[in-house]
Amino acid sequence: MVARVGGDEFAILLDSIPASELPGKAARITQDIGRLRIPYAGGCLIPSISTGWTAVEGGVKSTELLLRADRSMYNAKQSKKIRPLI
Protein backbone atom coordinates (compact mmCIF):
# COMPACT_ATOMS: atom_id res chain seq x y z
CA MET A 1 0.00 0.00 0.00
CA VAL A 2 1.26 3.47 -0.89
CA ALA A 3 -0.03 6.52 0.97
CA ARG A 4 0.81 10.19 0.76
CA VAL A 5 2.02 11.40 4.15
CA GLY A 6 2.14 15.06 3.17
CA GLY A 7 3.88 17.39 0.77
CA ASP A 8 6.24 15.26 -1.29
CA GLU A 9 6.48 12.43 1.27
CA PHE A 10 4.93 9.02 0.78
CA ALA A 11 4.80 5.87 2.87
CA ILE A 12 4.91 2.36 1.44
CA LEU A 13 3.58 -0.31 3.75
CA LEU A 14 5.02 -3.77 3.14
CA ASP A 15 3.43 -6.79 4.74
CA SER A 16 5.31 -9.83 6.02
CA ILE A 17 8.79 -8.55 5.21
CA PRO A 18 11.55 -9.46 7.67
CA ALA A 19 13.25 -6.37 9.11
CA SER A 20 16.58 -7.60 7.75
CA GLU A 21 15.22 -7.21 4.19
CA LEU A 22 13.99 -3.63 4.59
CA PRO A 23 17.25 -1.85 3.70
CA GLY A 24 17.49 -3.85 0.47
CA LYS A 25 13.85 -3.17 -0.41
CA ALA A 26 14.36 0.56 0.18
CA ALA A 27 17.49 0.53 -2.02
CA ARG A 28 15.63 -1.28 -4.81
CA ILE A 29 12.74 1.21 -4.74
CA THR A 30 15.27 4.07 -4.89
CA GLN A 31 17.03 2.47 -7.87
CA ASP A 32 13.76 1.67 -9.69
CA ILE A 33 12.54 5.26 -9.37
CA GLY A 34 15.92 6.52 -10.60
CA ARG A 35 15.58 4.43 -13.76
CA LEU A 36 12.36 6.19 -14.76
CA ARG A 37 12.47 8.64 -17.65
CA ILE A 38 9.58 11.07 -17.92
CA PRO A 39 9.20 12.96 -21.19
CA TYR A 40 8.55 16.64 -20.50
CA ALA A 41 8.67 19.78 -22.65
CA GLY A 42 10.88 18.18 -25.27
CA GLY A 43 13.27 16.87 -22.65
CA CYS A 44 13.41 14.14 -20.09
CA LEU A 45 12.93 14.31 -16.33
CA ILE A 46 14.87 11.84 -14.20
CA PRO A 47 13.33 11.55 -10.73
CA SER A 48 15.30 10.80 -7.61
CA ILE A 49 14.17 9.93 -4.11
CA SER A 50 15.56 9.33 -0.67
CA THR A 51 14.14 6.38 1.21
CA GLY A 52 13.97 5.59 4.88
CA TRP A 53 12.52 2.59 6.62
CA THR A 54 11.49 1.17 9.94
CA ALA A 55 9.99 -2.10 11.14
CA VAL A 56 6.69 -2.27 12.98
CA GLU A 57 7.12 -3.40 16.57
CA GLY A 58 4.34 -4.36 18.93
CA GLY A 59 3.43 -1.58 21.34
CA VAL A 60 5.12 1.18 19.32
CA LYS A 61 2.76 3.98 18.30
CA SER A 62 2.35 4.83 14.63
CA THR A 63 3.62 8.36 15.26
CA GLU A 64 6.89 6.93 16.61
CA LEU A 65 7.19 4.61 13.60
CA LEU A 66 6.79 7.57 11.23
CA LEU A 67 9.44 9.50 13.16
CA ARG A 68 11.85 6.58 12.88
CA ALA A 69 11.24 6.25 9.15
CA ASP A 70 11.61 10.01 8.74
CA ARG A 71 14.97 10.00 10.54
CA SER A 72 16.11 7.12 8.36
CA MET A 73 15.08 9.02 5.22
CA TYR A 74 16.91 12.17 6.31
CA ASN A 75 20.04 10.11 7.01
CA ALA A 76 19.80 8.77 3.46
CA LYS A 77 19.43 12.33 2.13
CA GLN A 78 22.49 13.50 4.06
CA SER A 79 24.60 10.59 2.80
CA LYS A 80 23.71 11.56 -0.80
CA LYS A 81 24.91 15.10 -0.18
CA ILE A 82 28.34 14.01 1.00
CA ARG A 83 29.00 11.63 -1.88
CA PRO A 84 31.34 12.95 -4.54
CA LEU A 85 29.65 13.74 -7.85
CA ILE A 86 31.17 11.79 -10.74
In total, how many domains does the chain have? 1
Domain limits for position 30: 17-81
pLDDT of residue 37: 96
Q: Is residue 6 part of a domain?
A: no
pLDDT of residue 84: 44
Each residue of 14-45: b (16+ CB within 10 Å) or e? eeeeeeeebeeebeeeeeeeeeeeeeeeeeee
pLDDT of residue 86: 39
Rounded to an integer, what is the distance from CA 48 to the centroid of its chain?
Answer: 10
Q: Are 53 and 22 in contact (CB under 8 A)?
A: yes
Successive 10-residue mean pLDDT values, the chain, 86 residues: 88 90 91 94 93 90 92 86 48
